Structure 1
Amino acid sequence: MVMGTSVLSLRIDHDLLERLRHHAAKRGTSVQDYVVRTLVRDDFDQRFQAAVEETEKFYDLT
């Protein structure tokens, strides 16, 4: 699988950017990497939850 990259430009307020910088610095990473990892983790969490719900429906566990 070949994965490309794209650019996403955001306009965020100063306070949010400072919080992101703080969180990124605590993890020793850049703001860009911190945001990307957070989005990937959230996407995984949503896909995992959907898989759990489908499994519960399949086995009638709800």
Structure 2
Amino acid sequence: MGSTVLSLRIDGELLDRLRQHAAKRGMSVQDYVVRTLIRDDFDERFKAAVDETERFYGPEGTAGVGAEEIT
């Protein structure tokens, strides 16, 4: 897997906050931002998978099972 450059123009105040958050975790700003994006992407994909599962099985996981069979 290759890498690509992404250049951002951000406010100095935001960069300072990013530096502080990254420093707390012993990370560079670049690594902190990338990990944050990866985490957010995972969260979105996980939610989409849960939503798809609920559409298939129903919110209670009871697709194809009558209410009398659940007890």
Q: Same fold (TM over 0.5)?
A: yes
Provide the residue aligned with 1:11 in structure 2.
9
Paired residue for 1:59?
A: 57
**1:13-61 per-position Cα deviation (integer Å, ceiling 9, x unaligned):** 0000000000000000000000000000000000000000000000022
Structure-1-length-normalised TM-score: 0.94
Unaligned residue ranges in structure 2 (runs of 5+): 61-71
Identity %: 75
Q: Please tell me whether Structure 1 or Structure 2 has the larger radius of gyration of its CA atoms.
A: 2
List alignment gaps of at least 5 residues for structure 1. none
Runs of 4+ in 1 over 6 A off after TM superposition: none
